[in-house]
Amino acid sequence: MAKLRAEHLYKVFGRRPDEAVAQLEGGADREELRASGTTAAVVDASFAVEAGQIFVVMGLSGSGKSTLLRMLNGLLEPTAGRVLFDDDDLTALTPRGLREVRSRKISMVFQHFALFPHRSVLENAAYGLEVQGVPRDERVRRATEALELVGLAGWEKSWPDELSGGMQQRVGLARALATNADMLLMDESFSALDPLIRRDMQDQLIQLQRRLKKTIVFITHDLNEAMRLGDRIAVMRDGKIVQIGTAEDILVTPANDYVASFTQDVDRSRVLTAGAIMSEPDEVLGTETDDGTTLRTAQDVLAAAPATVTEGTPIIELFQPCSRSGVAVAVTNDDGALTGVVTRARLLAALGDPDGGPDGAQPPSDGTPDAPETTKKVITGA
């Protein structure tokens, strides 16, 4: 069941927002409206976030990400459209009902940690509970647990300025977790951190998520971060969602040139999996191995493979096996049956070619320009 659903959401800033929505629905673009002093920050955004998933919204500065996020917890009222949380229409709630949802069910983690400098780490982590009116003993207990979850046990009595940026951001995360909210909204929560610490935080979020199974909407302008974290990713441009899909969907079949241009900087080897680039086992049937055996059956292919992996194996783990001799890495399902093969040429093609995917990657016999002569030889056995 979808935990959260956005239906045709619009947010227009400026004069006569309703007229602007009608114009947008009629096909007007953002630039036309801007001429009359109106900003269409979010235009016709629809999506569903499944319970327990991390849904990432990715886009450049000004594309409307924060505006969209603020509509999801009712901080901003949509100009048009609806937000359904647990099938309740947030847009129809009274201000009081909305405050209730915001304090108990949906928690927000910001880019700048928003800690109170004159409160201890524990008091900062307990802040959301204080707002809810939770009694002191319970606040302390739950905030202490949340700090432990984010790896800050022992720091309860410290002051925020005694903590590094990464640790401060963990306090922000602990504050959100302490409220027991099912859903976390995270707006560029890791963007202010140094790259290494940022990666640590991403890892930690992934690990926490495995245990806690929250529903998370995470905003970032960094596609690598989006792809590491997102079960699904929405790419925004000029207020519109231009593509929604898994990291692999976006890499392998970008919806347009705009999305494709983002994916050029992505570390494909960590996002793409064996399943996305493998070909049918037929591709290597009839091939001769180095010791002169001809591959005729799935068993032969398995026996000759330098390694056996599953469809979910990231392709970065295929380089080593592919560098050993052998015809192709074998891809098997849970029962150990052969479902596909990855040749060395296919691996190289998938990395180099933005279209490299199930259909885009060319076998070496078709003349992949980047595949060196020696590679062809090993793989085709020619």
Ligand X SMILES: Nc1ncnc2c1ncn2[C@@H]1O[C@H](COP(=O)(O)OP(=O)(O)OP(=O)(O)O)[C@@H](O)[C@H]1O
Stretch near Mg ion under the rule CB under 5 A, chosen from 2-10, 66-74, 209-217, 359-367: 66-74
62 versus 336: smaller Cβ distance to ligand X = 62
Interface with ligand X includes 67 (CB under 6 A)? Answer: yes
- List, in order, residues 6 or more apart from 210 with CB less than 8 Å away: none
Q: Does 66 bind Mg ion (CB under 5 A)?
A: yes
Contact at 8 Å (CB) between 131 and 103? yes
Q: How many CB atoms lie within 10 A of CB 248?
A: 17
Rounded to the nearest whole angstrom, what is the least distance from the CB of residue 74 to ligand X in the complex? 15
Query: Are 372 and 347 spatial neighbours (Cβ–Cβ below 8 Å)?
Result: no
Radius of gyration of the chain (CA): 25
Work out whether 3 is an interface residue with ligand X (CB under 6 A).
no
**In the complex with ligand X, which residue's Cβ is closer, 53 or 67?**
67
Provide the 3-class DSSP secondary structure of residue 206: helix
As a whole number of angstroms, the distance between CA 298 and CA 372 comes to 27
**77 or 194: whose CB is closer to ligand X?**
77
Of positions 13, 110, 258, 319, contacts ligand X by CB under 6 A: 13
78 touching ligand X, by CB under 6 A: no
What one-character-per-residue DSSP string does 227-242 give?
A: HHH-SEEEEEETTEEE
CA 234 to chain centre: 8
| Residue 189 binds Mg ion (CB under 5 A) | no
Residue 163 DSSP label: S
| Half-sphere exposure (Cβ direction) of 321: Cα atoms closer than 13 Å | 22
CB under 5 to 8 A by kind: which of ligand X, Mg ion, none does 224 bind?
none
Strands 2-13 and 308-310: unpaired
Does position 61 interact with ligand X (CB under 6 A)? The reply is: yes
**Choice between 227 and 274, CB closer to ligand X:** 227
By beta-carbon proximity to ligand X, the closer residue of 70 and 142 is: 70
Q: Give the range of 63-71, 125-133, 194-202, 296-304 binding ligand X by CB under 6 A.
A: 63-71
> By the criterion CB under 6 A, which residues form the site for ligand X?
13, 39, 41, 59, 61-67, 221
